[in-house]
Amino acid sequence: MIRTCHLDDLPPGAVLRVPADVPIAVFNVDGEVYAIDDTCTHQDASLSDGWVEGRLVECPLHEAAFDLRTGAPTCLPARRPVRTHAVTVHPDGRVEVHVGVPAPGSGAGVAAGAAERGA
């Protein structure tokens, strides 16, 4: 499944919540676009409402942080990674989110390895 949005709606520093089977949060960090599951793996909070600092997003409810590149949590209370989704940005600004396809280099959800690489 592919979900699309447009860079016009996603300038650097912005985040979009894209509906899908499970909602996806799409972040533009200094021109790099990342897509992860929107729902925190700890309890029920929307990561698109979180605070982005570098390549980390901090959950708005209990401040677990996730690496946008790997989905790995970098601190408690989250223990499980969020899924990442591969993103293609086209020259015309179209952004395709390949739902369910892990982002390249994300470690495909191998949490421990991803946490180390992401740190």
Partner 1 sequence: MRSVAVVGASLAGLGAARALRAQGFDGALTLVGAEPHPPYDRPPLSKAVLLGTAGPADLDLCDPADADLAAEWRLGVPATGLDRHRRSVLLADGTEVRADGVVVATGALPRRLPGPPLAGVHVLRTREDAAALRGALTSGPRVVVVGGGFIGAEAASACAALGLDTTVVEAAPLPLAGVLGAEMAAHCADLHAAAGVRLLCGTGVARLLGTGRVRAVELADGRRLPADTVVAGIGAVPAADWLAGSGVAVADGVVCDGGGRTSVPGVVAVGDVARWRTPGGSVRAEHWTAAVEQPAVAVRNLLAGATVAEYRRPPYFWSDQYGVRVQFAGRRAPGDTVRVVEGDPAQRSFAAVYERAGAAAAVLAVDRARAFTRLRRTLTA
Where does this chain bind ligand FES (CB under 6 A)?
Answer: 40, 42-43, 45, 59, 61-62, 64, 77-78
Q: Are 89 and 4 in contact (CB under 8 A)?
A: no
The residues with which 98 forms a beta bridge, in sequence order, are 2, 86
Tell me: does residue 61 bind partner 1 (CB under 8 A): yes
**Of 60 and 109, which has the nearer Cβ to ligand FES?**
60
Piece of 24-32, 56-64, 66-74, 94-102 that binds partner 1 (CB under 8 A)? 56-64
Nearest to 71 by CA among 16, 108, 24, 43: 108
| Separation CA 22–CA 9 (nearest Å) | 21
**Of 5 and 57, which has the nearer Cβ to ligand FES?**
57
| Separation CA 106–CA 11 (nearest Å) | 23
6 binds, among partner 1, ligand FES, none (CB under 5 to 8 A by kind): none
The residues with which 35 forms a beta bridge, in sequence order, are 26, 85
Binding-site ranges for partner 1 (CB under 8 A): 43-46, 48-51, 58, 60-62, 77, 79
